[in-house]
C-alpha cells in the first residue's frame, strides 16, 4: 500500500524575482536548437519588441530524458515528455532496490545578434502538480525528490538566473499541492551569445528492499512572454 505524500513548495502564488549565479549547472548536456528555429534578435529588432509563446511561435526547446536501474531483484521505470505547445511531465518509479530518474526542459532559445546588450523581461504562467508516493513505513533508504526551476543559461552553460518553483523530498511533511503559478525574471543578454530560457523539471527515486516509491511532476499550459529592450537589466533579489 502506498502512503500519499504531496509536499511543500516555495511561493505557490505569483512572485517576481531573480537569483543570479556565477556557478556552472549541468542538466544533461548542451541544448541544441536548429538555426531555423532559433529566435534571433537583430539590429532591426533592437528597439522594444516582444514574443508570446506558444501563441506567436511554438517553444523551440522541448527535451525529455529518463533512466532506470532495476537492480538485482527490483523494478524501475523513468518516463518524461515535453511539447512545443507548453505541456510536460516526468515520472520515476522504483521497487525492491531499484532506482530511476526523469527530467524535462521546456522553453525558448534566443540569440542576441543585435550588437547591443539587451534587457529581457520574462513573464511566465503555468499550472503544475507534484506527487511522491511511498510504501507504508518506508525508511530513509527509500527516497524521492522533485524539483522545478525557471532558469536562464547562456551559451557557455553559465547560469544567468535561477528561480525555484518546486523543491521537495519524500521526508517532508505530508501535503497535497497543485497550483496555477506566475513567475517573472529580468536578465541582461550580451551580444553574440545565445540564451536558453527554460523550465527544468526533475524527479528522482530509489527504493529499499521490499519497498516501493513513485514521483511525478506535471506542467500544463505554459505561456511565456519575452520583452526585449536595449539597456542594462536591474535584477530584483528573490
Residue 177 has pLDDT above 90, yes or no: no
Residues 6+ apart with CB under 8 A from 56: none
| For the chain, percent of residues with pLDDT exceeding 70 | 78
Q: How many domains does the chain have?
A: 1
Q: Domain for residue 76, yes or no?
A: yes
Whole-number pLDDT of residue 3 = 36
| Predicted confidence (pLDDT) per residue in 197-233, tens digit | 999 999 999 999 999 999 999 999 999 999 999 876 5
In a domain, 236, yes or no: no
The whole domain housing 132 covers: 2-28+37-230
**78 in a structural domain:** yes
pLDDT, tens digit (0-9, with 9 covering 90-100), for 25-38: 345 456 777 666 77
The answer to whether residue 152 is domain-embedded is yes
pLDDT the model gives residue 26? 44
Task: Please indicate, yes or no, if residue 235 is contained in any of the structural domains.
Answer: no
Sequential DSSP letters for 129-158: EEEEEEETT--TTSEEEEEEEEEEEETT-B
- b/e code 59-92 from CB counts within 10 Å (16+ = b): bbbbbbbbebebbeebbbbbbbbbebebbbbbbb
Checking if the pLDDT of 24 tops 50, the result is: no
Is residue 208 in some structural domain?
yes
d(CA 132, CA 217): 9
**pLDDT at 45 (0 to 100):** 62
Q: Per-residue confidence at 103, pLDDT binned at 50, 70, 90?
A: very high
Most confidently predicted of 28-32, 112-116, 184-188: 184-188
Dihedral, 217, 124, 59, 18 alpha carbons, nearest 10? -90
Q: Please check whether residue 215 lies inside any domain of the structure.
A: yes
pLDDT of residue 30: 63
pLDDT value at residue 172: 67
SS3 content of the chain, % helix, strand, coil (to 5): 5, 60, 35
SS3 116: coil
Whether 237 is covered by a domain: the verdict is: no
Amino acid at each position: 500500500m502506498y502512503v500519499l505524500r504531496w509536499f511543500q513548495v516555495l511561493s505557490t502564488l505569483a512572485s517576481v524575482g531573480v537569483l543570479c549565479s556565477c556557478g556552472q549547472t549541468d542538466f544533461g548536456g548542451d541544448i541544441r536548437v536548429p538555426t531555423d528555429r532559433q529566435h534571433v534578435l537583430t539590429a532591426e529588432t533592437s528597439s522594444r519588441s516582444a514574443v508570446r509563446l506558444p501563441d506567436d511561435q511554438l517553444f523551440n526547446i522541448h527535451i525529455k530524458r529518463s533512466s532506470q536501474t532495476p537492480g538485482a531483484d527490483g523494478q524501475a521505470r523513468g518516463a518524461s515528455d515535453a511539447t512545443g505547445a507548453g505541456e510536460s511531465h516526468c515520472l520515476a518509479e522504483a521497487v525492491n532496490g531499484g532506482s530511476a530518474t526523469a527530467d524535462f526542459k521546456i522553453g525558448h532559445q534566443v540569440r542576441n545578434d543585435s550588437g547591443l546588450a539587451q534587457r529581457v523581461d520574462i513573464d511566465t504562467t503555468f499550472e503544475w502538480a507534484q506527487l511522491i508516493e511511498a510504501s507504508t513505513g518506508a525508511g530513509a533508504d527509500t527516497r524521492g525528490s522533485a524539483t522545478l526551476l525557471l532558469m536562464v543559461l547562456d551559451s557557455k552553460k553559465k547560469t544567468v538566473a535561477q528561480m525555484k518553483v518546486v523543491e521537495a523530498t519524500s521526508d517532508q511533511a505530508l501535503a497535497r499541492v497543485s497550483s496555477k503559478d506566475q513567475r517573472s525574471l529580468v536578465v541582461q543578454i550580451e551580444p553574440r551569445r545565445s540564451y536558453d530560457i527554460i523550465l527544468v523539471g526533475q524527479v528522482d527515486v530509489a527504493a529499499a528492499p521490499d519497498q516501493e516509491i513513485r514521483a511525478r511532476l506535471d506542467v500544463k499550459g505554459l505561456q511565456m512572454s519575452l520583452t526585449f529592450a536595449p539597456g542594462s537589466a536591474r535584477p530584483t533579489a528573490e
